[in-house]
Structure 1
Amino acid sequence: MTTNATQQTNTSAATSAFESAVIFNMAFTTAGFIVFDLIRKKSARIFEPRTYIIPKEKQSPPVPNGFLKWVVPTLKTSDEKLIDRVGLDGYMFLRVILAFMKLFTAFSVIGIGVILPLNHVGQSNQPGLESFTIGNINDTKRLYAHVIACYLFTAAILYMMYHEYYTYIRLRHEYLTTPEHRISARATTILILGIPRQLNNKTVLTNLYNVFPGGVKRIWLNSEPTKLIDLTAKRMKVLNKLEKAETVFLEKYLKYLAKDGGSGQEVEDGNKIPTSLRPTHKKIPLIGKKVDSIETYRNEISQLNKDINDLRTQSNFKPLDSAFIQFNDFVGAQLAATSTIPRLTEISREDVIWENLKVTNPSRVIRKIISFSITATLIILWAIPVSFVATISSLSTLKTVIPFLKPLVDKLSESAVGFIEGVLPAIGLALLMVCLPYILRELSKLEGLIRHSDVMLSLQGKYFFFLLVNVLLVTTTVNGAAQVIPVIINNPTSIIKSLAVNLPKASTFFLTYVLLKISTASIEALQVGSLSLYLATKNFLVKTPRQILHLETTLEYKDWGVTFPPHILIASIGLVYSVIQPLILPFTALHFALYYLAYRYNFLYVYDQIYETNGNLFVHAMEQFFWGIFIFQLTLIGLMFLNDAHIPGVLAVILFIITISIVLGIRVYFQHNPKAAFLPANLMGVIDMKTGQVVDFTKSTSSVTEDEKVDQGSKSKQISEKPLTDIDDEYTSPNVVHIKHGDSDKELERSVNAYTHPALIVTNPLVWIPQDRTELYKEEIKRCQDSGLNATSRGAKINEKYKVEVDITEAPNITDEFYVEEAESSDAMIRNTTNVID
């Protein structure tokens, strides 16, 4: 086969692969959104749980039924309402997706209107899809346009990033200065790590931190109640077994009555209840004697209750070198955080990984080394299957180099080869990445980080770097090499020209990859994984009222550590290939448009956010996109010099140097500027230097008396009406989103147990038994109470089909992990065991 014939065949295959990918993925995407529109009203639990499950102040109004009726409410919801419902993390994520959509839409105009004709018209006349790439250019003067486009794209991106950074800091300052947030427990509490032994007591810490405005309100010295944690976990397991046994017993009895009319020979306690209906099990598996499950589990829980209560009141737990310190005033907490190292602020109780508090600083360093070493090893090992998948997209080229492939490939039709090269590699690459988040998440937890948000930040960095190396760099290298090798074999002296012409052909793979990612937007809207898991769990796994309540009221949430990186990667791919193959630009814009629609709907109506970082994940995502900019410019520099376009190459080098300088400047200004991490002093408030108290508008209700409020009324009102701003123009613009109020957990703020280890305040659990029509459940509740256990049947019943139904509005207030006790009678005991000062 001649070189021209080979090139013709390869180009035809590339075009066929692209066409197959377009048809397959566009059809899949369209079908997915149509199915979503048809079934979204069939299951409010999956597609609209935020309209009824969460607290009323956070609920979204139900979406009207009808074809595409969900689109307008989704897009018309104001940003103020959106940020109030989804939090700053969710809002900044949506802003990033929207910003990329706008950028790539604008880039598409330049790319399709200017760069693509320059690549295509009057040059090498490569057939098919390759004629639109930069490799088709013979006239090096045309490459000036590509460098100019690079300048324009880079300038637009850097301006976007600068503006989004500023918007983020402004919104973060607004959120932190809302009255609700300023008095919340998470705003007034800091976590101090690495406390020296001689300072690790409540008296010394109180004296040390009382110098800050408002003084110390409470201190929780952390301890390690390992045995207590084990006992409470064991009790929850036994409780679940007891409730399952009770439920199975009642269901069997109802079925027995329906079948035999209640005529049983074996009776228990004078009732017509055959003893064979009672659940049994062997205490020692396989060889043990059978025992009555219900009675055995009741006795075990009763004994565990006694052991746990005794341990709580009598044991002195091992102290840790950390403490939560709550201040009377928000300003005191902020100033203390800026003056103490290491420290953590803005911590909610749910955000604490309690078992990691016992990890010392040296251990954290060792864990980080281990974690990053394993991550690096995985990246290297993963490159092997990724390389194999990438070569499939160049099957038509490789058959000229690998003899045994030629007869196999030639037997296939052009459409079959197009499908294999255009669809399968992208799917294979996506499948290779499916299990990665789970592995990397465990590695992030291994580092011993304190907060779930920190685990997310670590996971976000690992996952993006993994995707950047294996998806973008390895795949580009393998595809480029696959295109160049056959040409070099035929004509070794043309290596430089071959690289310049054939490396851009790797863009075909990324065109198909972006198309595949577009189709997954419909999967995001459909909630395929959540819907399948919910149906399987509901029909086969959950049996007890507690399990059903947990299933029906626990909402999905986005793990930011694995949500941001794929979209930053797509933006990087679109940017890197923007001038190499301009056709990728409109598809990249479409990707972000569809995902913006799907994500905005799900954030408003589906997802709940458990952990908040106040937008810190956005900052890390922007820093990761810097790598995409650098690879974009370095790739263009290489192509300029490969094409002997020296002056455009020098201009590209100058742009690269300028970009690095600007990026470093942005990092220094935003990342290392205290205003980005903490509130600037002018936003904290005015401190009376004589009393050390905060006065005027910034004074929180926790440190302002009624008399002070009257005395300062007019002055406070005047100051509070003046906007708190870093950019005055943004505050005066009517089109700029603002945060009007924040979140506040008043019960938690007043609680003496706010940051006590949950195992230390766990109470005796409540046994939840469903009601049955024979009222046998009443006898079971009485027997539980006789054994010293709390029991209820409220909100649960067994229906006519012998299935448990739960009314979530009538269900008792329980959780699956801990039962927090706030009774006044237990305060003395709790204070004694947790070293709380009040």
Structure 2
Amino acid sequence: MKLAALLTSAGINIGVCALLLSLYSILRKQPGNASVYFGRRLAEERSRRLSSFILERLVPSPRWMVQAWGYKEEEILDIAGLDAVVFIRIIVFSMRIFSIAAVVCVFGVLPLNYFGQEMEHVNISSESLEVFTIGNVQSKSKWFWVHCLALYIISFSACILLYFQYKNIARLRLLHITRSPSNPSHFTVLIRAIPKSTRETFSDSVKNFFMKYHASSYLSHQIVYRVGKVHKIMNNAEKAYKKVTRLKGAVINKKCLPFRYRCGLCGGASNSFKLYNEEFELGAKRSDFKYSDSNIKEKECGAAFVFFRTRYAAVVTSEVLQSSNPMHWVTDLAPEPHDVYWSNLWIPYRQLWFRKIAILVASIVFMLLFLIPVTFVQGLTHLDQLQQLFPFLDGLLKKKFTIEIVSGYLPSVILQLFLYIVPPVMLLFSSVEGSISHSTRKRSACWKVLYFNIWNVFFVNVFSGSLISQINAISSPKDIPTELAKAVPSQATFFITYVLTSGWASLSSEVMQLFGLIWNFIKRHILRWKDDPVSVPSFPYHTEIPRVLLFGLLGFTCSVLAPLILPFLLVYFFLGYVVYRNQILNVYCSKYETGGQMWPIAHNATIFSLVLAQIIAIGVFGIKESPTSSSSIIPLVILTLLFNEYCRQRFSPIFKKFSAQDLIEMDSEDERSGRLDEILEQLHSAYCQFPADTTEFCIPGKDSVVTSQVAGESSSSGSTSKDVVKKSGVLHSTSGGLPVSRLKEAVASISLLITIMNSQT
């Protein structure tokens, strides 16, 4: 690839980024786009401030960057939680280490690479990018010690920064645990693989088992039910009721013709729903949601939430093997109530191993199928091979501008378009795998996407690029390692364009929220829906963390081999620091908290990147016939692995287990302050399978779990969920909830809406 092609790609991406960022600074000032760009704030304030039209709303300004940069870490921690702080710390670490690498390599290594051969440099813009890589240095050069020193400086700096980041994040995690004394997950254990008995129900089995073996600490339990689609319908009933209520009260233009109602551009008469009032009331009376005891027992599955009197008892129970058969009474600490992935709780535990194997095979097949577009992309970077394979493209590929576009911009764009389908597929795989919480599902998807990116974006591009460019030079299998080692520096030029396209462009599209903007336009101007401040997206950690770590891998592996990539990476990380802070503060809302468990993923990926860069350097120095330089890197690999082992022993357990010292002190503090009884009373409603605005309410009593037809919320007065009375044919609880009558009205309203639309047809 020529330097002119790189400059063309950089110019296109700079223009696209400047355009999108300018549009964003304008669109975010428009009141109609508030739900797209300020979703989190609207969800908190539940109100919108509509200002009158002023000219400033149409003028781009960098004020949003200044505001995003000005927030302190403590403010982000209070607003978005520890997970957001950890993600920002990953970017800060990348900014620091690659700033050091840029100073060392651009001013120390890059000149040696450029003048490594005895050649005349006339026009720098027409030269190949390979003259800026280590491939341009002569074999047996005496200047390879500079490359070794640069790699040592980068590796030691990365380890020092990683240590302090790991230490600080571990401290924040401990503070997160100790400062959340009322977290229900600390008192709750998820039991799966409950043995099935013909003589008693699952609920009785759980009660008898824990009353026998954990009598001093056992409080109560709650069985998980197989509800499937019914659960989803019940959860969405309140939302449907609110939407139908808004439609009933809407004033719609009577001049609109009835058939236009179908497209959503216009509405029927304002009294359309009044005409069906009697039918509405009749539908509400006909609705029946009663469950018999036999139906409830049939829907019980071999999983339950078991509540304990202290945090320490819950942790001990989750760590101890409960039965001599490891496939029975499997225990795990329960996730937070909002983090529970209910759809996977009733999966039989014996099925999980089969699901994991099937997902592993499916992931491998998916990665192999992805070789097709990657190989095609690499073919675009080697135009001479394309001209030999497709002679009819000879005339088109001889034009200068076409060459610059095809080799400098098009490959990374095509690869990025294919990569957009990877995170949703991996998230689906993680769901099928059987994750019990949303956070576990996202962490699993994060690992899968990271593995996928490292293999397909890095290794496959290197391998396929080498095989395409050196296919004629390979005469025997023993030549393959040598030819691949030669291709690693040359493929670094492709990664520079990938950083431009996938990095800069992805940040500008992220801040623009293109899909959200289009959907908001359709919702407001075509469907005529009102904004729902509750429906705020959560941050896509499974997409963004692998992308940031992949760029870190490219930076470490190419910093010494091709230092020209470092300035482009620095621009990405500094711009990403501002963009992601802005998105976390204004757009996304934290629905659950993992306590910073994303950091071990970043740490392990960084160590892998460092070791990989050192191994590649050993191979390259060996090809350049510099055994001294090659052998001097081996101690660096050993020291890096020893550092990783120290961090694994010192910090990693903090992210996997709870300390008995902290838990016992928290239990003692709650008992002294009198908060313990209040916390225990709230456990039963916290893990109700139909939380907030649904139709089942879990009641602890003599049989531990009773199912009633009302959803309960936490009582501010501290009353337990036993206080349930039957009033006017509708079950009510002193702790509040959604009456069955409102649920019936919601479902009847949905049926009525369908009837009206059919009648308009």
Within 5 Å, give how 1:458-473 maps onto structure 2: 458-473=444-459
Q: 1:482 to 1:761 in 2, by over 3 A?
A: closer
Among 500, 505, 509, which residue is 1:515 paired with? 500
Deviation at 1:143, TM superposition (A): 1.9
SS at match of 1:70: helix
The residue number in structure 2 matching 1:188 is: 187
1:699-748 Cα offsets, whole Å, 9 max, x none, are 564238xxxxxxxxxxxxxxxxxxxxxxxxxxxxxxxxxxxxxxxxx899
Q: Does 1:614 align with 2:595?
A: yes
Instruction: Report the alpha carbon displacement of residue 542 of structure 1 after superposing the two structures with TM.
Output: 5.2
Contact kept, 8 Å, 2:312 with 2:660, in 1: the verdict is no
Uncovered stretches (5+) of structure 1, i.e. residues with no partner = 1-12, 258-273, 281-291, 688-693, 705-745, 765-817, 834-838
* In the alignment, structure 1 residue 416 sits paired with structure 2 residue 402: yes
TM-score (norm 2): 0.79
Matched, 1:363 2:351: yes
Alignment of 1:538-553 (within 5 A): 538-541=524-527, 543=529, 548-550=530-532, 552-553=533-534
Alignment of 1:21-100 (within 5 A): 21-42=9-30, 43-54=33-44, 67-100=61-94
For 1:151, the aligned partner's letter is: Y
Letter of the 1:193 counterpart = R
Task: Answer whether contact 1:183 1:330 (CA < 8 A) is retained.
Answer: no
In structure 1, distance between residues paired with 2:243 and 2:82: 40
Distance 2:541 2:228 in 1: 30
Q: How does 1:752-831 map to 2 (within 5 A)?
A: 752-758=684-690, 762-763=694-695, 820=712, 827=722
Aligned match of 2:225 in 223, 226, 244?
Answer: 223
Residues 290-439 of structure 1 aligned to structure 2 (within 5 Å): 299-304=282-287, 306=288, 308-311=289-292, 315-339=296-320, 342-345=330-333, 347-395=335-383, 397-399=384-386, 401-402=388-389, 404=391, 407-412=394-399, 414-439=400-425
Instruction: State TM-score, norm by structure 1.
Output: 0.72
Whether the aligned pair in 1 keeps the contact of 2:97 and 2:158 (CA below 8 Å) is yes
Q: Tell me if 1:504 matches 2:492.
A: no
1:238 Cα deviation from its structure 2 partner: 8.6
Alignment of structure 1 residues 562-601 onto 2, 5 Å: 562-601=543-582
Structure with larger Rg = 1
Superposed displacement of residue 643, structure 1: 1.2
Report if the CA contact (8 A) 1:135-1:500 is conserved.
no
1:209 correspondence with 2:214? yes
Give distance in 1, aligned partners of 2:551 and 2:222. Answer: 45
What is the distance in 1 between the residues matched to 2:256 and 2:393? 66
Q: Is the 8 A contact 2:344 2:434 kept in 1?
A: yes
- Give, in whole Å, the separation in 1 of the partners of 2:255 and 2:367: 57
Instruction: Find the counterpart in structure 2 of residue 630 from structure 1.
Output: 611
Q: CA RMSD in A?
A: 4.0
- The equivalent position to 1:695 in structure 2, one of 662, 668, 685, is 668
CA distance in structure 2 between the aligned counterparts of 1:494 and 1:343, rounded to whole angstroms: 53
Letter in 2 for 1:50: R
Q: Is the contact between residue 116 and residue 133 of structure 1 (CA under 8 Å) also seen in structure 2?
A: yes
SS of structure 2 residue aligned to 1:190: strand
Change (3 A) 1:526 1:362: same
Q: 1:423: how far off? A: 0.8
Name the CA shift for 1:120/1:577 in 2 (closer, same or farther; >3 Å): same
Does 2:661 align with 1:682?
Answer: yes
Summarize the Cα distance change of 1:55–1:365 in structure 2 as closer, same or farther, 3 Å threshold. Answer: farther
Matched with 2:743 is none
Q: Partner amino acid for 2:607?
A: F
1:398 partner amino acid: Q
Q: Which amino acid in structure 2 is aligned with residue 167 of structure 1?
A: N
Give the whole-Å Cα distance in 1 for the aligned partners of 2:244 and 2:22.
45
Is the 1:238–1:301 contact (alpha carbons within 8 Å) kept by the matching residues of 2? no
Distance (Å, rounded) in 2 between the aligned partners of 1:14 and 1:367: 48
Q: Percent identity?
A: 23
TM superposition shift of 1:577: 0.9
Provide closer, same or farther for how the CA distance between residues 49 and 70 of structure 1 changes in structure 2, counting only shifts above 3 A: same
CA–CA distance in 1 between the matches of 2:128 and 2:232?
A: 66
Encode CA deviations 1:635-664: one digit per residue, 9 max, x unaligned.
212211111111211222332233334334
Query: Following the alignment from structure 2 to structure 1, what is the Cα–Cα distance between the partners of residues 596 and 173?
Result: 7
- What count of residue pairs does the alignment treat as equivalent? 671
Q: In 2, Cα distance between the equivalents of 1:829 and 1:161?
A: 54
Q: SS of the residue aligned with 1:644?
A: coil
Kept in 2, the 8 Å contact 1:334–1:679? The answer is yes
Q: Could you give the per-residue CA deviations for residues 15-63 of structure 1, whole angstroms, max 9, x where no partner exists?
A: 222111111112222222222223321133222333342169xx9xxxx
Q: 2:701 aligns to what?
A: none
Q: CA separation in 2, counterparts of 1:501 and 1:150?
A: 19
Q: What displacement does 1:149 show?
A: 1.8
Counterpart AA for 1:202: K
Q: Say which SS state the counterpart of residue 474 (structure 1) adopts.
A: helix
Structure 2 gaps, min length 5: 50-55, 122-126, 198-203, 259-267, 323-329, 697-709, 732-761
